[in-house]
A and B are shown apart, each in its own frame.
Chain A
Amino acid sequence: MAKRTKAVGIEIPSKGEPPSSLPKALTGISGLDEISGGGLPRGRATIVCGGPGCGKTMLGMEFLMRGAQEFNEPGVLIAFEETPQEMERNVASLGFDLKSLVDRKKLFLDYVYVEPSEIQETGDYDLEGLFIRLQHAVDTVGAKRIFLDTLEALFSGFSNEGVLRAELRRLFRWLKERNLTTVITAEKGEKTLTRHGLEEYVSDCVILLDHRVREQISTRRLRIVKYRGTSHGADEYPFLIDDRGISVLPVTSLEMQHQVTNERVPTGIADLDEMLGGKGFYKGSSVLISGTAGSGKTTMAATFVDAACRRGENCLFIGFEESVSQVSRNMRSVGLDLNQWVEKGLLVHEAWRPSQYGIEMHLLRIHKIVEAVKPQHVIIDPITNLITGSAPKEVYSMLIRLMDYLKGRQITSIFTNLTVKSEELEQTDIGISSLTDTWILCRDMELNGERNRCVYILKSRGMAHSNQVREFVMSHEGIRLVPPYIGSGRVLTGSSRAAQEAKERADALVRSQEIDQMQEALERKRNTLEAQIKVMKMDFAAEELELERIIRQQQSREKQLQVERDAMNRIRMGESDQTTDSAIAKSAGDGM
């Protein structure tokens, strides 16, 4: 009791823990025991009222049958409207064997037939006959529970309402004295809970059933109007009747006490795992994949399924949009063969129209399949379509319950959600994004006349996830997340990314060519220089030779002049004239 959690504003004790203040009798009806905090008041009367066909009799019968079958509390059925044969047929549809319970003295049936046209009132009377029959029935099986369906038939049979009301008062006292947990049914009145005001006598517990149709889809609802001396769920709870009897939603407890795990589940796309902290989703978490039409939501989910089945894990794929064969054909185009997993029994693939049932029926059907298949992963594709059948609020509450239910069973759930292309991409119609643990957004980007898929992780609780927008490429080999081109402050996708990359390559090529050219030019320059140096050296050498020759000439000429001067001197001195002449002649000859 201490572990109770506030949920939906009311305190709801968990199943099987009746508060000590008021003893309660479990009904065994899934969901009802939760919202009533442990069942109906033990030893007291509960009135179940509602319009025709809202399931009053079913509720009472299930209370009785489950009591006899599951809680070892024998019961008595006093039927005013239906014969035992009819009752037997009715409950057989819920999987109960009325006859065998009767044979085993777990149940006593008494059909009370009231036909006003056969009855003539001639004076003072009471309903002692009814009491005698009740006593006989209770004694026969040692009954702990009794179901009267429906006492109001008495009002048509007996005209003396004064007697009748006195007897009813006596009846409820009688039932209480015998500590019988009683359920009585009553038709809903115009303004009152019951047409004949039976609630006046039964003040312990009043349950109101309702059956309404909206948009051609019917929904049953149950509300505990009154439950003296105990807290109870006061809301209207949807319920349904199927071959397992009545299920009141929440089928699961409203408490939030899921066990969490650190175990991870790969997404089937290595790149996506990388974005999710390198390991993928948490096991038992809920994942929302939302995106515009054709952004690859289903493919991503199918890839996950394929990978999970490959690891030998069981999956359940529920489609609301495409038929089973359509999905498997489409997935083959991206290289995923889902059929093989179906054949191996690893994948259960179901598809039905969202408008086929009311929202509760969807939930129940999912529950039932999950119970039967016991999958590790559940994919629901897409949740958006559910909204076509029901009001958003109901869808919301249904999804909360579904998520809770799956989380409680440590089942990884993947929901896809179609967003209408608008400004508010980061918003789901049903507003469930806040409930999910991981939210992957697929979107397309339109650029240069093409649409390209992008994916990013909007949130992922409890893990470091990538903030990148990655391009999502689907081919016959499956999904690939291409690293984005991030240049000049933009993320480019598709052909523009390819074009950008080509351009970069071309630019690089041009640059390297330029370098080559410059190097060549340098080389050429060096060669030219060297050639020039050579020419200059040769010129120099030639000049040098010439100059040396001139120098030598000049030197020899100088020498000659010296000789001539010496000769002149000798001539002037007389003696040496001859020598001087000959020296001049000689030097002239040398200089030639």
Chain B
Amino acid sequence: MRNKTKASGKSSVNHEPVLQLRLYVAGQTPRSLAALSNLKRICAEHVDGKYQLEVIDLIKNPQLAQGDQILAIPTLVRNLPVPIRKIIGDLSNIDRVLVGLDLRGTDRASEQKSAPPARAIGAKL
């Protein structure tokens, strides 16, 4: 699977939308905002701007949750390249985001931003 996505990544370099992303949020919550800023930084550092991002606020469009099977908020959906990938959480664990988006091949700044508590379990209760 990994090889396949890598190959498709290379071949799609010449075409316009290399990466098509959709971020589902529910209102302007701190977590949503954190997810958005984390995503923008990751994309800037690892994707060289060749991506499309669509932010969907489910508070405004609740019916859209059904289509992409959204349960967790925030959820980042990678529609292209296939297969579809879902990444949930505030995207604070950059390593995992890169694994999830299959961008591990262009590994450059993995040492960055791995310190903040990615699994803030107790805080939720």
Contacts and interface: CB of A to CB of B under 8 A. Distances in A.
Interface string A158-177: 10101100100000000000
A122 B62 contact: no
Interface in A147-161: 154, 157-158, 160
B81 interface: no
A118 B62 contact: no
Contacts of A129: 24, 26, 58, 65, 70-73, 75
A113 interface: yes
Interface residues of B, number: 42
Contact of B87 (A122, A162, A163): A122
Nearest to A133: B65
Nearest to A161: B121
A160 B90 contact: no
Contacts of B124: 124, 126, 162-163, 166
Contacts of A120: 85-88, 96-97, 99-100
Interface in A414-449: none
A128 B84 CA distance: 21
Interface centre among A123, A130, A135, A163 (most CB of B within 10 A): A123
B72 A125 contact: yes
A166 B125 contact: yes
A488 B96 CA distance: 106
A114 B72 CA distance: 11
Contacts of B120: 123-124
A112 B118 contact: no
Interface string B17-43: 000000010100001001100100000
Contact of B73 (A112, A121, A126): A126
A128 B125 contact: no
A127 interface: yes
B73 to A, nearest CB: 4
A112 B31 contact: no
B125 A132 contact: no
B93 A123 contact: yes
A111 to B, nearest CB: 8
A119 B71 CA distance: 11
A167 to B, nearest CB: 8
Contacts, number: 119
A510 B6 CA distance: 124
A174 B73 CA distance: 17
A166 B72 CA distance: 13
B58 A132 contact: yes
A132 B83 CA distance: 26
Contacts of A110: 66
A136 interface: yes
B56 to A, nearest CB: 11
A228 B76 CA distance: 42
B88 A125 contact: yes
B85 A112 contact: no
Contacts of A154: 71
A132 B96 contact: no
Contact of A122 (B26, B66, B92): B92
Contacts of A157: 71
A160 B125 CA distance: 13
B65 A124 contact: no
B91 to A, nearest CB: 5
B85 A132 contact: no
B90 A132 contact: no
B59 interface: yes
B123 interface: yes
B121 A160 contact: yes
Contacts of A113: 69
Interface of B: 24, 26, 31, 34-35, 38, 58-59, 62-63, 65-66, 69-75, 83-93, 96-97, 99-100, 118-125
Given A118-B86, A121-B88, A132-B58, 17 more contacts: A112-B71, A113-B69, A120-B87, A122-B87, A122-B90, A122-B97, A122-B100, A123-B119, A124-B124, A125-B88, A129-B26, A129-B75, A133-B62, A133-B66, A162-B121, A162-B122, A162-B125
